Amino acid sequence: MLSVVPTSLTVRAPAKVNLHLGVGDLRPDGFHELVTVFQALSLHDDVTLTPSDALTVRVTGEGVRDVPTDATNLAARAVAALAERYGRDPYLQIDIAKGIPVAGGMAGGSADAAAALLGAATLWGLDVGRDELDEVAATLGSDVPFSLHGHTALGTGRGERLIPALARGEFHWTLALAREGLSTPAVYRELDRLREVGDPPRAGSPDALLAAVASGDPHRLAPLLANDLQAAALSLQPGLRRTLRAGIEAGALAGIVSGSGPTCAFLCASADDAVDVGTELAGAGVCRTVRVASGPVPGATVVP
């Protein structure tokens, strides 16, 4: 056991894209039953925890205006939940450096929560196994367990029950970040509404997609990307159709709304192609800004 208590600790946690997002019925608890395939991408938030005399949050980076710095911040809730469970004082200063788009459908808040959980557990020297951390993670949000684990995984339940999925090689992505965010509950509500009045497409089984991910072939994966929330995100932000079209015209193999959106994720044949697609998208004026990323990458990790 290490006797020196570190003064502060930084944990890095990745963004995610849903390669497959099948949304089932609305459950009595207000969540939808999901079958989803997550992939963690090389776009990160860094969360630094420093022992303090109060639980405080500071946020830097893009989109910080929209991130709460009070007790409702998901990283603060993560620290409070862990402290409560293990009988600790939750007094940490939390510094979040955002690299993941805020309200973008890429699990930025969940990444912060996962990073805070791992960071606080490490800083406090808690004897907590991965299963216990997962349990706390699931109470914070549907995507938080995946943000801890990273890589590629099949998620069921409300997304919190994970089975690792085999992925060969590296997939290359261009991300088009939107000017305005979308609220996840609002997108799910819009899908419920669309399903009441019509029959939007359903993603079906992820089996073929999982085989494509295991093959490492982006050409095979591209036509299988599917997201039931896409129709709802497009209904709330119709301009995203233009963004999706522009990415394909720029040479992407496929484009999809990431999770509940509004970030659009474009699968590309190579890292060079991803840069080319990003350059074209930026020039076309169909998004606020672009990023390139690759996946899969690991989940929340303590930065040495």
DSSP sequence for 136-157: HHHHH-TTHHHHHHBSEEEEET
Residue of the chain from 143, 190, 273, 280 that contacts ligand C5P (CB under 6 A): 143
- 185 contributes a contact to ligand C5P by CB under 6 A: yes
- 31 contributes a contact to ligand C5P by CB under 6 A: yes
- 158 contributes a contact to ligand C5P by CB under 6 A: yes
Does the annotation list 109 as a binding residue? yes
Q: Tokens 């299963």 appear where?
A: 131
**16 in active site:** yes
Single out the segment in contact with ligand C5P by CB under 6 A; choices: 139-147, 196-204, 247-255, 273-281. 139-147
Does the annotation list 157 as a binding residue? no
Does the annotation list 107 as a binding residue? yes
Residue of the chain from 12, 16, 32, 149 that contacts ligand C5P (CB under 6 A): 32
SS3 (DSSP) at 180: coil
- 155 contributes a contact to ligand C5P by CB under 6 A: no
Residue 275: count other Cβ atoms within 10 Å of its Cβ: 15
Which positions ≥6 away from 163 have C-beta within 8 Å? 153, 154, 156
Which positions ≥6 away from 3 have C-beta within 8 Å? none
Closest to ligand C5P by CB, 159 vs 181, is: 159
- 73 contributes a contact to ligand C5P by CB under 6 A: no
Q: Which token pair is 274?
A: 């991803």
Q: Are 240 and 266 in contact (CB under 8 A)?
A: no
Q: Which token pair is 244?
A: 């999706």
Binding site for ligand C5P (CB under 6 A): 30-32, 34, 141-143, 158-159, 184-185, 188
Binding site, by residue number, is 101-111
Just list the catalytic residues: 16, 143
